[in-house]
Structures are given as structure tokens and as C-alpha cells.
Amino acid sequence: MRLVALDTLAERVGLKRGQGAAEARAMCPSLDVIIEDSAADLAFLEGLADWCDRYTPLVALDGKDGLFLDITGCAHLHGGEKALVDDVLSRLFLLGVEARAVISSSAGLSWAVARYGEAAVIAPEDAERVLAPLPVAALRLPAETAALLERVGLKEIGDLLYAPRAPLTRRFGSLLLLRLDQARGHADEPLSPRLPVPSFSAERRLAEPLQEEEHILELARHLSGDVRLSLERHGEGGRLFELLLIRVDGRVFRIQAHAAVPLNDADRIAALFRERLQAVHDDLDAGYGYEILRLSVLRSERLDPAQEDFSGVPDESQPLATFADKLCARFGPDCLSFATVAESHLPERAGGFAPLTDVAAIMESRPVDEKACPENRPLRIFTHPELVEATAEVPDGAPRSFNWRKTQYRVARAEGPERIAAEWWIDGEDHPTRDYFRVEDQEGRRFWLFRESLYGRETSSPRWFVHGVFA
Amino acid sequence: MAEKAVQRETVLSLRETIAQIENRRLPGVVRAAKTADPAGFRRQGEEASRNKILPLGVPPLDDVLEGGLPLAGMTEIRNAETRDAGAAAGFVTALAVLCQWRKKEKGHLAPVLWISQGLASREAGLPYAPGLKSYGLDIERFLFVSIRTVKEALWVAETALSVPVFAAVVLEIRGNPACLALSESRRLHVRARAGGVPLLVFRQAGEEEASSAFFRLQIKPASAGERPLPDGSMLCGSIGHPAFHVLVEKSRAYASADIFLEWNAHDRRFYPIEQHQSVAPQVDEQSANSVDPFSAPVDRSSGADQVGRLLAFARAS
């Protein structure tokens, strides 16, 4: 067991990373050693990243212990850069997190100073002055490159800043100069944010935290009104909405709601979240309340404004979309489905259901291909054909009687066979052929039976299945 | 004289209340008294919405259903055993086809919503789109909701009934769950009447249970006819149009006998069938076991009840 991380107190005692746990205990008997849980660390870091959403939507993870925040254009909302850093640090301190933060014009410089330097806000012209006294490890180099540099005496970044570039590249590779340029702000370094940036959003910060669900909904309705204005201005309607709730203790909840048609109506957006909140009710622990609510539109589509006419005939897709939204918000997107027909010979592939995501698609008339719907198909079909024991007069003839679900049925009439071969381009060539029979038992129940495998050619003891029931 | 008028008023209002509780159309006297509105207007819309029915085209069944399937309200269709679910599903689907077709003839395509408890569709199979298509349904307008519990299914049904887009809402449940009792069915019924949507409660493998439905029908399988040949004769040994054996369990009219129907998907309508045409051995067995009618009385006028009629003693054990 080796130490991987230390708190300030342990560092002061003189412990080092990579030290054996037994040795460290010998140096400091009161040492409290906790087994590393990298998954939990990552989850915590992601939780913090969510929390940082309050400052900027562009938050990127940096390794195991850092976050990059792109605050371009955001600082003035929080009273300037210095005030922003102070706000972040004081809030994190209240959450029990010891953190360091630096604002500078490049990600590399912030990284270096946050770990090895002392400044809080660095102006672009000060970059080289601040960078010069820092050790070369502050350049985010691999450990062996850093060790190699130290061995040849290039211990500080200042030693590299004005050194000739060609010999450095030859000796240490191109990464060193790239990192150096990135830290000075000469080379661009794009951050990849964790989450996509919403195209529209509205936010409310509250002096008094909210706990009640009705209040959250009421506020969500207000926010919908704000979002609606910007949606309308762009002629768009949202399809995927997200309500972000930041609790006073820093925990972040994201509630997403899908809309079946592009929406820009405040009441209907709020209605989506009413159902969603009902559904996630148990997972949503309000604790001491939420201090920030933000409504974002994650996906939007073009929505042409429609004018109501005097004919008084209501547009049918609207109430249907409302119904679909309510259902999907409560039971998930797979709950409501529509019938689909595919061109396939195998019955289980020929018909099925697909989740209804777009109401507009179903309201448009799209005639089902007649060829895809042969006659004499059962009304209900079993997802998995059920094995039955059947007896037939001749091995490749219709069944005389069969035993399904522990009951004997005597066949009065049978129609068939309808031979359906497997689709070799999907299932492979050795998939058995089926002979389907429509049978009616003596009391008038009609079933769809099939015999798997051809007698004599594919097998000597074919099995029988019930695949569906007729009306 | 004045006292008499007051009494008459009271009786009329009581009658009206009773009729409303029983979801019945008002008897003649009350209706005449009610339509005489002080302002002189007839309540056209109210009256029209109450009388919306869909004739099924089979006189014995339409007589029992007082004209046809009510288009605003709840109708219950049940079958006794899971293995009969095919026949009952066929009957329900046929009603849905009729409702959808009626709306289509008026010019707008309305979807049919089928809400199914997960257990029900696992036991009796999922609706199959090509089969529904050849049965006469517009599957472009067929929405299916598969849901885990009965409570959730009830919620979905209630939500659907408040949306006036569906041609018919089918609620398929299995057995007699405690959470669909009289009060819940009353609630659904009222919702369906308010929304003007036919709600077909399809109770799979369920017992008879009191509910607020207008009618309750039990569906049993029946032997189908044979396929007709172009020259008018029948193709021997073939399986023709699906047939049903309908038992009316709850209705206001006296349900005299069993009704046998067949569904013609091509014409999209029911036809009555004569059961003795088809070959069903168990019918013969029943007639062999039943009590022979007495010989006609010599000294009395004929018309005495046939012996051997069973009263409602089924649950006595």
C-alpha cells in the first residue's frame, strides 16, 4: 500500500506521495489512511463540475483533481474576475472543499499557477513573468521528460523560455514546446466541455431557497416564459428541455423532459415538468432547498408560427402531443408506441412497435405497404413462440391435436401449410424452415401453429410451436 | 291543485335523478317536462351527445344494447379463460375498427389507443400489426401503451379520455384487480362520458364483477364458417371469417339468448350467423345432456315455461 494523496496536515509532517503506508505510519502513528476509491473521486469531481455550472456552462474535467472553467464573457455577471475567484473559493470552503483557483488567459498557465504558484488573477502581459520561476513540472509534461530536464539543469521554466527551440525539440520532443507555447498563450488549447451548451436557457437565483414542489413548478413556468421569448425570436421550438436544480449544499439535479412536437408554449413546457417531477419524486431530495433553477433547451427544431382559424376545427396533433408528452414524462420514452410494419417474411420481424417520439410523423398520412401485410395473420402474437406437444397424422401434415399450457386441444379444422423459410442473409443458412398452420379446435378457438424444421430434410423429429391466436 | 303540481314536480325531479344515476335516457314524461326550457331553447347539444350510439348491424345484439355501442362511456368485454382471449380481443378490435371507421367516414382519421397491462399482453400475446391490418384497422393510427401495473394503466386511461382525439380507448387488464373497483370504474365511466370517447374495458380471464359500465358482454369462441367460393358454395374444411359467441351479462334489456356473430373484415361489419350451420360437436353434447321438454299440455293453453332453464345459481357452491 502506497500513499497517493495527502492533505495539508500530512504534507506538513513530511510525508510524501508514493511512500509506503507502513513507513508513513511509523513516521506518524496517528495517521489516518483511507483506501483510494477512484470511482468515488471521479463522481465527486463530476458533482463539483455540475455545481460549477452556476458560473459557466463550459466546464471541462482535468485529470483526477482539476476542473477547467471557460469564463469567457461570464466574469462580469459575477462582479469581475477577482470577485468570481473569491466567490468560487469561499463557496467551496463552505462545502468543505479545499481548492485553489487561478484566472488567466490560457488553460496551461492557470494549471501551472494553481498547482505551483501563488497568484489568483493573472493579466495576459504578466504571463511570462509569473511563469519563469515555476518548476518545469508545471508544464504538464510526462514524468520522464520532467526528470530529464531537471537532470540537465533546466529546472525552471524561465530557463526554457528564451532557449533556442530547435535543439529543445530535438532533445525532448515536440510536446515540451507545445506545452510551453500553450502556457504562454501562443498556441491555442481548446477545452472540451462535459456537457453540450444549451442553445437557450433562463436562470433564476434565489435569495431564499425553495423546497416545495409547487413553488419549483411555478418558477419553472416563469422560466418557461423567459425561454419562450428567445425561442420565438429565433422561430424555434424546443424538443428536449432540462431543468437544472442546484441545492444549497452544492448537489445538482438535472431533470430532462422530452416533447413530442416542438414547443414554445410556457404552460405546456411547465406541464412537462409537472409530470416529470411526479415521476422522479422519490429521487429528488429537496433537503434545505434549491438556490438556483435553470431551464435550458438542449435540442430545438424549427417551429413555424401557426395561426388559428375561424373554422373551429381543432388541430388534432396538439392534444395528441400533449398526451404523448405526459405519458413519456411519467413512464419514460418507451411507454407509448405505434405499430410498424417491415418487409420481412418472418412474422416476428414483419410487425412490431416503435416508440412514438415524433407526433408529427404519425399524424402525416403514410399508407402501410399492402405487400407487407399478408392475409391470414393472427391478431395477437407471442413474443417467443411457445413450445407445444403436437401429434400429426403424417409427419409433414397438419396437427390432429396439441397440448398447449397443460391443456389438450383437438383440432377440428386446419389450413396450411404456409411455408416460411428463414432469412439466410440475417440468420445464416442453417436456420430451420417453418410450416405454419391455421387451426381451429373443437370449441372454436383459432391458433397459429408452426412446425419447426422440415421433416426428413432438416430433422427427423420436428418441434411444434404456438405463435399466435386468431380472433 | 297547487299541492298536486308540487308533488308532480318532486316526482319528476326524483325520476330524473334516478335516470341520471342509472345513465338512462329520460322517460317520455320527464323529457317533455325538461325540454320545455323557460327560454324556449332545446338543449340540443346535451341531448345529442347523450344519444350517440353506434349500431352494430346485428338486430338481436342491437336490441339488447338499446340501439348499439354507446360512443361516450364505458363498455366492458370479458372472457372467462386466457385461452379465449383471442376471440375477445377480436371482438374488441372489431368494435375499435367500427369506431375508427365511423370517424373516418366523417373525414378525420382518429387513432385507436390500446392500453395493455404488461401481464395481459405477455399471457395472451401482443397485438400484431399485420394481423390488425387485415382485420380492418388502420394501423397507421394505432397506438399501443404497455404498462406494468393496473394503477398506472388506469392513470393512462384517464389521461387519454380527457384528450378528445381518440376514436376508441381500449383498456386491457387481467383478472379482477382490487384497484379497479366500482368507484374507479365509475370515475372512468364519467370521464369517458365527459370526453365523448368510447372506453372498452377488456377484462382478460376475469370474473363477473359489478362495474359502472353501460353493458358487460362475455365473449366465447365460436366455430367459424367456411370460405365462400366464387360460385356460391362453401370450401369444405376451410376456416372463414372469425366468429364470436356473445353473452350479454349486464344490460337494461332482457338478454334472451346467446348471440352468434361473425366479423367480415372486408365489409368492416358484423353479420349474424346461424350456429347450427357450423360443425361444433360440443353443441350436440349439450343438447344431449339437457332436460327434454315436456310434451305439450293437453288441458292448458300452451306457452308455459320450458323446464330446464337455469337461474343465477352459478355461485351457490
Pairing of strands A380-392, A399-404: antiparallel
User: Considering the domain boundaries, does residue B242 fall inside one?
Assistant: no
In chain B, residues with a C-beta closer than 8 Å to the C-beta of A377 are 128, 130-131, 133-134
B139/A339 Cβ within 8 A: yes
Pairing of strands B73-78, B215-222: parallel
Answer with the residue of higher pLDDT: A324 or B50.
A324
What b/e string do you get for B116-130 counting C-beta neighbours within 10 Å, with b at 16 or more? bbebbbebbbbbbbb
A327/B145 Cβ within 8 A: yes
Q: Complex ipTM, two decimals? A: 0.75
User: Considering the domain boundaries, does residue B284 fall inside one?
Assistant: no
User: What pLDDT digit, counting tens, does each position of B130-186 carry?
Assistant: 999 999 998 888 999 999 999 999 999 999 998 888 999 999 999 999 999 899 999
Q: Which three cell numbers stand for residue A232?
A: 420565438
Confidence of residue A351 (pLDDT cuts 50, 70, 90): confident
Q: Which residues contact B84 (CB under 8 A, 6 or more apart)?
A: A445, B219, B220, B221
Instruction: Provide the shortest C-alpha distance from residue A390 to chain B (in Å).
Output: 17
Instruction: Provide the shortest C-alpha distance from residue A335 to chain B (in Å).
Output: 6
A320/B165 Cβ within 8 A: yes
Answer with the residue of higher pLDDT: B275 or B246.
B246
Cα dihedral B15, B20, B23, B25 sign: positive
SS3 call for A434: strand
Pairing of strands B215-222, B142-147: unpaired
Question: Helices (H), strands (E): how many in chain B?
Answer: 10, 12
How many of the other CB atoms lie within 10 Å of CB of A148?
16
| Least confident piece of the model among A249-253, A391-395, B31-35 | B31-35
User: Considering the domain boundaries, does residue B70 fall inside one?
Assistant: yes
Position B203 scores a pLDDT of: 93
Position A53 scores a pLDDT of: 86
Helices B150-161 and A317-331, interaxial angle, to 10°?
160
In chain A, residues with a C-beta closer than 8 Å to the C-beta of B132 are 339, 379
Is pLDDT above 60 for B308? no
Beta-carbon-side half-sphere exposure of residue A426 (alpha carbons within 13 Å): 7
Q: Which of A378, A437, A374, A356 is nearest to A402 (CA)?
A: A437
User: Considering the domain boundaries, does residue B208 fall inside one?
Assistant: yes
Range of the domain at B210: 53-214
Residue type (1 letter), B166:
F
How many of the other CB atoms lie within 10 Å of CB of B109?
14
Count of domains in chain B? 1
Q: List the domains of chain A with CATH numbers.
A: 102-197 (1.10.150.20), 201-305 (3.30.1490.100), 380-469 (no CATH)
What CA–CA distances, in Å, run from A212 to A51, A277, B209? 21, 11, 41
Report, as an integer, the average pLDDT of A123-152.
88
Is pLDDT above 90 for A450? yes
Average per-residue pLDDT for chain B: 79
Instruction: Provide the shortest C-alpha distance from residue A232 to chain B (in Å).
Output: 27
Position B173 scores a pLDDT of: 93
Which residue among A319, A330, A338 sits closest to B163, beta carbon to beta carbon? A319
User: What pLDDT digit, counting tens, does each position of A30-78 carry?
Assistant: 888 889 998 999 999 999 998 888 888 889 998 888 999 998 888 888 8
SS3 call for A260: strand
Position A315 scores a pLDDT of: 62
Report, as an integer, the average pLDDT of A438-461.
88
d(CA B178, CA B151) in angstroms, rounded, equals 10
Report, as an integer, the average pLDDT of A385-411.
91
Beta-carbon-side half-sphere exposure of residue A236 (alpha carbons within 13 Å): 14
Q: Which residues pair with B204 in a beta bridge?
A: B174
Is pLDDT above 90 for A12? no
Report, as an integer, the average pLDDT of B237-261.
84
Beta-carbon-side half-sphere exposure of residue A57 (alpha carbons within 13 Å): 16
B117: nearest CA partner in chain A: A335
Confidence of residue A212 (pLDDT cuts 50, 70, 90): confident
d(CA A284, CA B288) in angstroms, rounded, equals 68
How many of the other CB atoms lie within 10 Å of CB of A114?
20
SS3 call for B54: strand
Confidence of residue B278 (pLDDT cuts 50, 70, 90): very low
Instruction: Provide the shortest C-alpha distance from residue A67 to chain B (in Å).
Output: 42
User: Considering the domain boundaries, does residue B189 fall inside one?
Assistant: yes
In chain A, residues with a C-beta closer than 8 Å to the C-beta of B258 are none
User: Considering the domain boundaries, does residue B206 fall inside one?
Assistant: yes
User: What pLDDT digit, counting tens, does each position of B190-214 carry?
Assistant: 999 998 899 999 999 888 888 888 8
User: Considering the domain boundaries, does residue B89 fall inside one?
Assistant: yes
Cα dihedral A138, A144, A150, A152 sign: negative
SS3 call for B117: strand
* Phi and psi at residue A446, to the nearest 5°: -115, 130
Is pLDDT above 60 for A340? yes
Tell me the Cα Rg of chain A: 34
Q: Residue for cell digits 356460391?
A: B232
Q: Which residues pair with A244 in a beta bridge?
A: A254, A294
Q: Does A336 touch chain B (CB under 8 A)?
A: yes
Pairing of strands B259-264, B243-250: antiparallel
Answer with the residue of higher pLDDT: B115 or A274.
B115
In chain A, residues with a C-beta closer than 8 Å to the C-beta of B242 are 446, 470-471
Position A372 scores a pLDDT of: 62
d(CA B208, CA B218) in angstroms, rounded, equals 9
> What is the DSSP secondary-structure string of A20-32?
BHHHHHHH-TT--
Is pLDDT above 50 for B46? no
Beta-carbon-side half-sphere exposure of residue A293 (alpha carbons within 13 Å): 27
- Examine residue A417 and say whether the peptide bond preceding it is cis (omega within 30 degrees of 0): yes
User: Considering the domain boundaries, does residue B17 fall inside one?
Assistant: no
> For position B61, which CATH number holds?
3.40.50.300
| Strand (E) or helix (H) holding A309 | none
d(CA B90, CA B84) in angstroms, rounded, equals 10
Position B40 scores a pLDDT of: 46
Residue type (1 letter), B118:
G
Beta-carbon-side half-sphere exposure of residue A54 (alpha carbons within 13 Å): 25
Q: Which residues pair with A61 in a beta bridge?
A: A67
Confidence of residue B311 (pLDDT cuts 50, 70, 90): low
* Phi and psi at residue A149, to the nearest 5°: -65, -45
Which residue among A327, A340, A443 sits closest to B129, beta carbon to beta carbon? A340
Position A309 scores a pLDDT of: 62
